[in-house]
Structure 1
């Protein structure tokens, strides 16, 4: 096992964990779907071990995403991806968003979020006000 992590492996693992949590899928179920042990999957999700192309493709199928999902945002700031409070908030927002049936309302929510993000010059710290 490696003693240092590669930022790309960490990012891919975090995206895998995020999607698994969004689907409320437990670690054992995804591990079985991609043919690895839960312990191995945990190492992938933390970036301690690099996931190969074949199990990554199986994970994409099991998680119902394009393989590119795991690489989205790779060049962006990584500060928020490891903050458990922000991840929890994002999951809660995402679940609520899917309950909004009106397409116009969903677009207003997206516009609001983008507007708030562009006006927020403070660093991401996970604090709730």
Structure 2
């Protein structure tokens, strides 16, 4: 029984944190929207593409200085990496809302339910990139209106 518990504990220790996974997915989202390869992003940061892969999967935790570098290279505020994070008020990074669950002792359990959403699908990323490559604002607005008209009313 002790071996099974030890194996389960070891497995949990090696699983990426849901927060690290979320931050990594936001790095991937922004990188893809900018049309950067993992290799190009790695070059800009002085990393290998394998290190970028590990950050994007949440396998390697992104430290504060690296997050700062990423925000500069990807041209987003640091808060971008925490936007839309489940378990926060509307994805905002208002410090108190994130800390309450941790202080209550249920932080890891509450965060287990991170789910991949449509923003992380390749099709969505390609659609957004193509949309923003339309240079003429009037045409882009007509494409936007067309897509909205095709979607079912909620």
Shorter-chain TM-score above 0.5: yes
Q: Which residue of 1 aligns with 2:52?
A: 41
Shift of 1:15: 0.9
Asked if the contact 2:27–2:81 (Cα under 8 Å) also holds between the matched residues in 1, the reply is: yes
**Post-superposition CA distance 1:70-109 (Å, at most 9, x none):** 11100266331686xxx22212221232116336963983
Q: Structure 1 runs of 4+ off > 6 angstroms?
A: none
State the distance in 2 between where 1:73 and 1:117 align.
23
State the distance in 2 between where 1:106 and 1:44 align.
35
- 5+ unaligned residues in a row in structure 1: which ranges? 120-129
**Post-superposition CA distance 1:16-54 (Å, at most 9, x none):** 011111212121221222233322221111001100011
| Greater radius of gyration (CA) | 2
Which structure carries more helix by proportion?
Answer: 2
Q: Which residue of 2 aligns with 1:56?
A: 67
Equivalent positions of 1:118-129 (< 5 A) are 119=154
Q: Which residue of 2 aligns with 1:30?
A: 41
Q: TM-score, normalised by structure 2?
A: 0.60
- Which residue, out of 80, 91, 106, partners 2:125? 91
Q: Which residue of 2 aligns with 1:78?
A: 115
State the distance in 1 between where 2:28 and 2:50 align.
13
Q: Which residue of 1 aligns with 2:136?
A: 101
- 5+ unaligned residues in a row in structure 2: which ranges? 1-12, 92-113
Q: When the two structures are aligned, how many residues end up with a matched partner?
A: 115
Larger RCO: 1 or 2 (CA < 8 Å, sep 6+)? 1
Q: Please say if 1:21 is aligned against 2:55.
A: no
State the distance in 2 between where 1:45 and 1:63 align.
13
State the distance in 2 between where 1:12 and 1:118 align.
31
Q: TM-score, normalised by structure 1?
A: 0.70
State the distance in 2 between where 1:6 and 1:107 align.
41
